[in-house]
Amino acid sequence: MAEERLQKILASVGIASRRKAEEIIIEGRVTVNGKTVTELGTKADLETDHIKVDGRLLREPEKHVYLALYKPDSVVTTASDPQGRATVLDLLHGLKVRVFPVGRLDYHSEGLLILTNDGEFANSITSAKSHVPKTYVVKIKGNLTPEAEEKFRTGIPLSGKRTAPAGLRLIRKGDNPWYEVRLIEGRNQQIRIMFKHLGHLVEKLRRVKIGPLEIGKLNPGEFRHLLPVEVMALMAAVHESPDPAKTGTALERPAKRSSVANRRATPKKTVKKGIGHGTGRPKPKKRQ
């Protein structure tokens, strides 16, 4: 087996996503042949080198595992928590394979989360270049104005950088309405900050879809194994790499009615049929 960067090796054996693996290396938790390594450019060979993380020798996983989990509110999307809070791994009762979450959901957010031991798959899904859309349903306090909706869709300044175009659609009216939101990026608490920027607080937030994968009938705290066809569909979504400028097209403002639709909506005038005609129009007079 050829030498590869340590962060890629850690991801490939299911220790963590490649980005998290880089943090593990920098923290000095990785040794290669007995020596602690903190340089991200370091390469090694899993077959010939003894690579350990927190003193545990790495080995190739027997098989890759892909899970869909409904993360409840007040659960941390990490493998461990220094504050002792419940983590998503605490919900995987009976699972004997070590997995890690793909991406994250905020502590008070709930919904669909993917977990796996396939680091390359996780890196593909979370990579900013992939533009895999994620769909949420969000309940906010108060109603957005049309101007605020347009700002949400086109982008809002966030930490010195404007957010990518987003999809937004009102799905339930009321004093505290529900919106469907679609993003192609996942900055920390992005949706909450975007609505707050527009003067509205988020009351509830649930992710219902990642690419083509839907949360389905899962209840909070439940998980299931993904079917091979679902994994293939997710990878296909990665390779499609949609244009960020078009991600909100289907969720933007209601489509304008075409001229044909407008004609259909206009009440018809009652016209007597001419003799011998089935068109509903008077029979034209013959010229003299």
Give catalytic residues, as residue numbers: 106
Nearest to 211 by CA among 101, 75, 112: 112
The crossing angle, in degrees rounded to 10, of helices 228-240 and 119-126 is 40
Q: Rounded to whole angstroms, how far apart are CA atoms 132 and 148?
A: 25
Q: Rounded to whole angstroms, how far apart are CA atoms 287 and 28?
A: 99
Beta carbons of 26 and 59 less than 8 angstroms apart: no
Helix (H) or strand (E) holding 69: strand 66-71
Helix (H) or strand (E) holding 183: strand 178-183
Tokens of 101: 């979450």
Dihedral Cα 7, 9, 10, 11, nearest 10 deg: 90
